[in-house]
Structure 1
Amino acid sequence: MVHFVDSVLRFGSPLWIFAFLLCLAVWTTTAQAEPDVVGPPQPIIAISGDDVILPCHLDPPLNVQRLTVVWSKPDLKPDPLDRLSRVEYVHLYRNQHEVPDMKIQSYVSRTALSADGLKRGNISLKIRNVTVADQGRYKCLIPKLKSEVKEAILELVVEQRSVETWTKETPLHPRDLQTPDPKDESGDTVGLQYLHILIPMLVVLLTVVGAFLGYYLLNYKCRKNDLRKYGPPEEQLSA
């Protein structure tokens, strides 16, 4: 009985260490896989009359088709005549479609999100036929995102098209003036973003293998010490 208790106490420590390392690895994987809303650090420059993409995405990628996506202008003040002090939106996506209520009138029929992009966490906003009035700061927000970083702020700079430059320079084909579609904007970086998930999973796997290997070696060493201390089991002696 004493020998059994001694073995339990001796082998209990590696098991607790293994459980602790496994829980720590799983927690690390979950923490690193938590998506954050990411926007560009530099201003987006557009020419008046062109279409522009305001880039914003989740890192690592996450399907947000069933979540609410809000694009607004944080510097826009509410109407003083509105008792509820409501602020109108640039674009509001809810229940898997655009909600036109409370949309700024000047942006009606001019904004769009990519349906395919939403599946990959790309919430970039396309604005058609930008004007100087569209210039300013924009905020992309996912209110119900389970993350500490639910929003990003970016700036749009709209420059007037130069008439002199337009007449003297070689005319460009319309396709050269178009901004890439939101769904293609982050296509080249999706593989790199998935590394945030693959690397923690590899850490978990290595931790589990290392814990089992350490437990086996320690168990083997303890059994070898028991043979030296107590001798072979009674069954072997009787044989």
Structure 2
Amino acid sequence: MRRGRALLAAAAAPVAVAAWHIVPAATWLPPVRAALFPALDGRGSPRHVALTFDDGPDVRSTPHFLRELDHLGVRATFFLQGAAVRRHPALVRTMAAAGHELAVHCWEHQPPWLPRPVAERRDLERAVLALRETAGTEPRWYRPPFGVLTATRWRAARRLGLRPVLWTAWGRDWRARADTDSVLSDLCKRLTGGATVLLHDSDRNSAPGSWNVTLAALPYLVARCRAAGWGIGPLAEHGAGG
């Protein structure tokens, strides 16, 4: 009998660990975030919209975004991949010099489903160090790959002093069939004052060439925000909590 209970306990342990790891990923669902974790949903000042980009820096596409943002008079928060930061340090320094906020996305995209507490912490440490040494900035924000905030990712970010934030409105601009109209339509489903917008300045993890669609949609997004009386800029100016 005791042996049977011991075997059951041993079998249940991996299930319990997996559940602990994956349950926080329910915050990927917008209704869950909005109701229980408004800061994680990217909610800030109702007079402001936070503009954020994932997956850079990318020497093929990011410079186009920097020029367009400069033309529009807008600064943004870029969630960067640490490995790409190491490959393109001059571009990262250009981004910082232009006044954009640099944040941590990951070292490189990794599947989120298996618990990797040591690896997650190591990868985030490497990404933070890459930004610190390259741009001379101390990153404040963290957005996990795929927007899946597992327990191990959350814990690793908190230990490094990073504030996890996902998004309020996204353009689903990574899709092969996305176009300017679809990006703007998807954004507007949850675009309000106080929202955090998710777009991508690279097709590193998206459909090839998809960044062109995002770039084309950008001036329309900025114009819409300004017409509504909302300022648009980085998370540092958004008034979002941690």
Structure of greater Rg: 1
TM-score normalised according to structure 1 size: 0.23
TM-score normalised according to structure 2 size: 0.23
Which structure's residues are more often strand, by fraction?
1
